[in-house]
Amino acid sequence: MKTGVKRDKVVGLVLSGGGVKGMAHIGILKALNEHGIFPEIISGVSAGALVGALYSNGASTIDMLAFFRKTPLFKYNFLTINKPGLFDTDKYIAFLETHFPVDSFEALQKELHIVATNLQKGTSEYFCSGSLYKPLLASAALPPVFSPVRINGYLYADGGIMNNFPVEPLEGRADVIIGSYTTAVKEIGATGMNNSYDITNRAKSLMLYANSMGKFNTVDLLFKPKGLEYIGVLDKKGIEKAYMIGYEYASKVLEEEAAPIVKSLAI
């Protein structure tokens, strides 16, 4: 198998949110690596930010999957009554410390950009230097399950609220941009929208997709695996399934549709 990437071409990778569906990113990364493509600049949001950070830190596929299997999503003593959210996001810092010994973007092996939503300013903001832990947690702090994270006096939450496909940091910096989008939207019947909760969730899903689809044509290669729409956002039982969907889908695309791109990058 060929390894490496031509040095005169910088490859960037944008990773969307999607919760457990985002485990497909890991499978896609594995397929890219097997085809000799190793992204050098990563931009991620929510689950994509976590996958991107692990990859940028040199974690293997096995290590990345283990991270998400062990993540204490709904640990009882993480419940909070003092913050807006069911679980105190700051309490997950101790878990991050076991996988990222140094709280710094600069300690990573690859360039990483993370987007989070500034709830007070109403803007999406990027982090790529300084402290790593809080921006990483903020980017994945899905309301109302996880509490917002305070950074420099402001409250931040899931970056996908305003930007679920953060390609912007890669534009002008990467010669080839690859996108992985895992926030799937499936067609549903009227019986799937029987109450206000169902309608609200449906509206959120459609808004996430709408704020991303206009940017799909800005990347050179886009992965949108089918089948992820049947995996729950916070369903840890779907980790392996999402991973395999991503891997099998990307492997097929790289062997067939994207063969010319693979040939131009791999050495």
Give the residue numbers annotated as catalytic, written as ranges: 46, 158
Query: What contacts 84, CB < 8 A, 6 or more positions away?
Result: 143, 144, 147, 148
Residue 214 three-state SS: coil
Residues in the chain: 267
**DSSP, res 254:** H
With tokens 């990222």, the residue in question is: 100
**Dist. CA 17–CA 139, nearest whole Å:** 9
Among the listed residues 236, 266, 255, the one whose alpha carbon sits nearest the alpha carbon of residue 22 = 236
130 Ramachandran zone, left/alpha/beta (phi>0; psi -120 to 50): left
Q: Cα–Cα distance between 23 and 103 in angstroms, integer?
A: 23
Task: Give the list of residues 6+ apart from residue 78 with CB closer than 8 angstroms, or none.
Answer: 72, 87, 88, 91, 92
**Residue 228 has what DSSP assignment?**
G
Q: In angstroms, how far is CA 222 from the centroid of its own chain?
A: 14
3-state secondary structure 170-193: HCCCCCEEEEECCCCCCCCCHHHC
Place of tokens 């993540």: 71
Q: What are phi and psi of 91, to 5 degrees?
A: -70, -10
